[in-house]
Amino acid sequence: MARTTALTFTVLQILTAFFATAAPTEKVYPSITIAEGLPSLAELGLTVEDLYTKPREFFSKGQVPTKRTNDIVPYKCYSTDRANVDDATAAANYLASLGNQACVVKGISTLITFVTVGDAKIQGWNVSPHATVSSPCSNAATGAYDVLDYCTSGGEVAGQMVAYGNGDLGVIVESSGSDEIPR
């Protein structure tokens, strides 16, 4: 009996040592889909992991604010079509990393998906009577960050805001599975 107990104890020690030194599993990040005409992550020297792990200030580089107070421009939160907040943040970080690259929407009341990351997408919406609207993508990212700041609940987010400095470019953050027009 003592020998069996000693053998069992030795086997448990070996198993404990094995699992304690086993390599941790790598985190797998979702794929990213970028609108035609916008640069790839490789062209920006970034990875999907960067979009998830670096703070928003890293991407904005102080070009525009990463948060506005809600008394400046009203925002609208959605109760449906909510996206994972981490995926939405990664998508906003991608847009912010583009700096002065133009985010363009052609066509009145047209929606363009700028970027999709995992369960989240960020769209631009022409809310003006003009045939084309454009803003630096970092300004569109500020609108997305506002939605993240004011519309996140329970790890999910959905809503709309306008791009920083341009009330003609609506910015929508929602689930990548949504195909509804803005509300």
pLDDT digit string, tens, across residues 122-147: 999 998 889 999 999 999 999 999 99
What pLDDT score does 67 carry? Answer: 55
Contact 103, 140 (CB under 8 A): yes
What pLDDT score does 101 carry? Answer: 95
Residue 11: pLDDT band (50, 70, 90) is very low
Residue 3 included in any domain: no
Residue 6 included in any domain: no
54-75 mean pLDDT = 66
For 89-135, how does the pLDDT look when each residue is reduced to its tens digit (9 = 90+)?
999 999 999 999 999 999 988 899 999 999 999 999 998 889 999 99
Residue 16 included in any domain: no
Please determine, for residue 24, whether its predicted confidence score (pLDDT) is greater than 70: no
Residue 13 included in any domain: no
Residue 1 included in any domain: no
- Domain count of the fold of the chain: 1
26-35 mean pLDDT = 92
Residue 98 included in any domain: yes
Residue 143 included in any domain: yes
Please determine, for residue 29, whether its predicted confidence score (pLDDT) is greater than 70: yes
> What does DSSP say about strands 32-34 and 111-117: parallel, antiparallel, or unpaired?
antiparallel
Residue 2 included in any domain: no
Structure tokens at 11: 């086997």
Q: Which domain holds residue 124?
A: 26-175
What pLDDT score does 109 carry? Answer: 85
Contact 161, 67 (CB under 8 A): no
Give the strands of the sheet with 159-163, arranged side by side: 32-34, 111-117, 120-126, 166-175, 159-163, 76-77
Please determine, for residue 59, whether its predicted confidence score (pLDDT) is greater than 90: no
Whole-angstrom Cα distance, residue 21 to residue 60?
Answer: 39
